[in-house]
Structures are given as structure tokens and as C-alpha cells.
Amino acid sequence: MKIKKFPGILIISILALLIIGIVYYVTLPPINPCSGEFWTFFFMVLIIIGAAFLLTRFLWGKITIIDRRIKFPPFIKVLLGIAALALACILLFSLISSQLFRAKTYSEMIDLREGDFAEEIPLTEYVTDIALMDSESAKIIGARTLGTLSDLVSQYTVSESYTQIAMQGVPYKVAPLEYASFFKWFQNNSSGIPGYVKVDPVNFEAEFIRLEEYITISPSAYLNSDLMRALRFAAPLDIFGSVYFEIDDNGHPYWIASVMKPYAGWFGAYDVSGVLVMDACTGETVRYALGEIPAWIDIVYNGNLICQKYDWYGMLKNGYFNSILAQTGCTVTTDDFGYKIIGDDVYVYTGVTSVSNDEANIGFIMVNSRTGEYTYYAVPGAEEYSAMAAAQGSVQQYRYTASFPSLINVDGEATYIMVLKDANGIVKMYSMVNVTNYNIVVTSETQTEVFQKYKSRLAAAGMEDKTDPDSIVEESIVVEEILYIPMDGSTTAYIRSAAGDVYKIAFDEALLLVNPGDELTVTYTAKNDITVLRSFEK
């Protein structure tokens, strides 16, 4: 009799294992008890095992009903006991990991350094090299670029997830192509995805980069080529945070996955513990610990995590009960964040406001998105959305929409600069708003003109140039040649000295009186291949 039962038991066991395998393949939980996804999978496995056991008992005819209730066999009671014990442990560990008991741990997740905005943020002498394009505009331009490629447009789309990167000190937004549908993947997966779109957010231009070796790992792919499935099989124990598409300095594509772990108990204060870098073309992975991450990688800590960690600090630094009762000294980040390129690094910046007053900032934080280093700048003034509203209000007759602003340093003054777009997402104007006095608002159709108008408004308002005098260089040059080049609707003057140095400055009528051979006294804050002048005098 037992031999006859064996085939049925074997089939049910195989089916149960198959179902467990399918559930794992679809849900992809980390095999890590510090992950909530792991415990969800664990309970599903218990349910599948229990259902399989009951089915075999049913086939044996050993399930009985007593007093209209199912009498559970001992094995099921053991499973229920395991489930109850696991649930009790989860609830206990979650409570122990919570802010109620670990407020100090949460508040110490960041090391906040206080900086001097006027001295530490590079002076902006020329605004035509500032990245002002937001992701929505990048999507429009990127889609247009793909539309010009007849061999690709029917098979692929551009991903809507653009990554802000700094490539050799130049800002770009990059996004890979994706398969347009399951059937397009089925048709093209043997070769892969031919490239990615690289958008220049300064000049509002985009280009398609066609790769020699195609991208095979993608979030739009299926089966083992699916991005999250490839990452999970490469690192079954890791808890993944954000995953971004980036390119190295040679233009080769990679997926950058932040690896997370809890720092407060088992389930609290998740933060980055390292990164897993996957070659988007080959699927090969390399793991880096914090402090060893290559400089070409830009986004390890994403903006949401950066803001969350500051909020833990701002709300819990004086204790948990203070954060919900008196809220003395409690601060939080504003509703959004932007990116700023300094050197070869991408920084996330956002305003900081009192928890009881979200209409104004008390300062800013600027955070290196690769290293996670926080700097706080005490610059009270308008929060970002108030500045956007002020810019929109100055040209309200056009009903333009302001992009999230970039933060720059103009003569030591913290300043918002942003674009104003029409209903079709086309940039129509530029606007600059003073942070500390957002009644100082200027708009113009060109970047050069809006910068000139803003500096004039600062002077008219009697706002002192806060630039460190020791950083300003003054020297005499002999003019060899002057060129006037139209740029962005305005004119830029390029001055070549007899020594071979090149200087540039926005057009000034006084330049018409300067001739080759004349001696000029020029001032600037930093000398580069092409030096931006602050002023000149004949």
C-alpha cells in the first residue's frame, strides 16, 4: 500500500519544489534575514509546504473533520508554530530597530559639516556653462534623437530614467534604450540593445551612442537578462537599494547597484554598505566597499536616501519624543532636490527648513552622491518652490512653468537659476532669483542676458560682493586679438593676449574702444585654458 502512495507523494513534492522555485524566480528576495522580502518569501514557502502536506494526507484519506473543524496533523502544527515564532521575532526585532528605541543611532547616520557658502562654492562668472535641463526636458530631447534613427525607432524606446553624471568634469544625463515590448525583446534579445542616449544639459543637445558590444542586461529584458534577476543571481544575499545606469570615462555602460544593510538592529536605518557594479554588456560584476569606489561612479547615494538620512538627523537629534511633541530644534529637508556638478563629482543639494515652517529655508545641504559626505550651509531664504513661484509670477502672462532650480554662487550670493518652459516643455526663458531676498527676480530670453541683469539688480540693491578679495587676481595684459562670437542670443568677447592666454567676458560697449596692442588690467578668480574675466580696465 505504501508503494502505491509513493508516486503521488513524489509528484506532489516535485510540484511543491517547482512552485517554490517559480515564486523565488519571480519575486527575487535576498536570502538575508534583515530583509522584509526574505520573510515574505519564507512565509510563502511555509504555506506551500503545508498545502503540499495536506494534499498528500487528503490523497491518503487521513484528513478527518471533527465537530465541523479540520483536525490538523502534528506536522501542520509544527509549521504553524514556526510561523508564529518567526512572526513574533519579526515584530520584536522591528520594535527594537525602530526610532522609538534607536533614535540616537538614526540621528548619527550622517556626519554634518558646516561650511561657508560664499567661500566654498565656486563662483559663477559665466552661466552659459551651467546644466539647467531637468529630466522631463531630457526625455523630450532624447525621444526626438531616437526618432531620427529609422532602424531603431520601431524596436526600442528611450528609458525614462535618466541618470545625472559628470564625465571628465562635464555634466551629462544618460539613459539606455529599452525593448519596446515583449515581442520586440523576443525578436532582438539575441543581439541586445545597440546603445544609449547621452544628453548635454548645458547646450540642450542629445546624441545616440551606438555601441560595438550591445547591452544585454536591461530592466526591459526578460528571463535571465532582466536586470534585477541578473543582479540577484550574481549576489543572492545582498539587499539592493537604488540601481542606476552609468557610463565610465570611455563611454562603456554599467549598472550601479547600491548594497544596503541595517545599522539599527535588524530592520532599521538602512544605509549603503558598498556597491555592485555590473557590466551592462557582459553581465560581469565587481563589488566595491565604501572608500574603494572608482571616481567615475557618480550615484551611490540617491537623492531620496540623502534626504531621508538628513531628516533622521534633523528630527531625532534631540530624542524621539521631542520629534513628536515639542519638536525643539527639529529640521527637515524640503520637498525635492537637485543636482550640482563640482569638479568631477555629482552633488545632491536641497533646502533645509524648520519642521514648523516650510515656507522658507534656514540653509542648504550639499552631499557628494558618491561618498555620502554632507555639508550644511547656513543661508536663510526662500525655499525652492517659493523661488519657482516667484520666477513664474514675474512672467505670469505667459503661464510658463519653472524647472527645479540649480544653486549657484554669484559674487558670494546664493542664487537660484532655472528655466521657464511652455506647455510643450520647450525652454522659453531663463530666470535668476536671490535666495536671501527673493524679491530680486530677473528673467530673460538668454542665459547671458539674465546673468547681466541679475548682477545689475544686485548692485542696484546695494548687495555687497562677498567674494574673498584674496581670491581675486589682477594682472596686466597686452591685447593681441579680440573676437566677438554670438552665443545663446548674446555676444561673448574673447581676448587673446600677447602671451598667448585667452580670456572671455560678456560683451561690454567699452570693448569697442580696445584695440590690438592696448594694455588692459584684468581681474579673475581662477585661471584656466580660457579664463572668465570679472572685469577689465584700459
Mean pLDDT of 79-107: 94
Residue 67 has pLDDT above 80, yes or no: no
C-alpha cell at 524: 579673475
Look at residue 2 in the predicted model and tell me its pLDDT: 45
pLDDT band at 203 (very low <50, low <70, confident <90, very high): confident
Same domain, yes or no: 73 and 204: no
Which residue would you say has higher pLDDT here, 449 or 21? 21
What is the residue range of 91's domain? 2-96
Same domain, yes or no: 358 and 273: no
Could you tell me which residues come within 8 angstroms of residue 314 by beta carbon, excluding any fewer than 6 positions away? 330, 331, 332, 333, 352, 355
Same domain, yes or no: 256 and 330: no
Same domain, yes or no: 287 and 359: no
C-alpha cell at 223: 528571463
Look at residue 6 in the predicted model and tell me its pLDDT: 55
pLDDT tens for each residue of 407-436: 999 988 899 999 999 988 888 899 999 998
Residue 216 has pLDDT above 50, yes or no: yes
Residue-wise DSSP of 56-105: HHHHHT---EETTEE---HHHHHHHHHHHHHHHHHHHHHHHTSHHHHHHH
Look at residue 181 in the predicted model and tell me its pLDDT: 93
pLDDT tens for each residue of 125-181: 777 667 787 788 888 888 888 877 877 878 999 999 999 999 888 899 999 999 999
Look at residue 71 in the predicted model and tell me its pLDDT: 65
Q: What are phi and psi of 257, to 5 degrees?
A: -110, 120
Same domain, yes or no: 153 and 294: yes
Same domain, yes or no: 138 and 166: yes
Same domain, yes or no: 116 and 207: no
pTM for this one? Answer: 0.83
Residue 379 has pLDDT above 50, yes or no: yes
- Please provide the average confidence, as pLDDT, over all residues in the chain: 88
Indicate the residue type of 94: S
Does 159 fall in a domain?
yes
Same domain, yes or no: 268 and 407: no
Look at residue 3 in the predicted model and tell me its pLDDT: 41
Same domain, yes or no: 513 and 381: no
Look at residue 9 in the predicted model and tell me its pLDDT: 74
Give dist(CA 285, CA 238) in Å, integer: 13
Mean pLDDT of 179-190: 92
- Angle between helical axes of 99-107 and 303-316 (0-180°, round to 10): 110
pLDDT band at 466 (very low <50, low <70, confident <90, very high): low
Look at residue 102 in the predicted model and tell me its pLDDT: 95
Does 422 fall in a domain?
yes
Residue 483 has pLDDT above 80, yes or no: yes
Does 84 fall in a domain?
yes
pLDDT tens for each residue of 1-19: 444 555 667 788 889 999 9
C-alpha cell at 245: 545606469
Look at residue 62 in the predicted model and tell me its pLDDT: 61
Residue 104 has pLDDT above 90, yes or no: yes
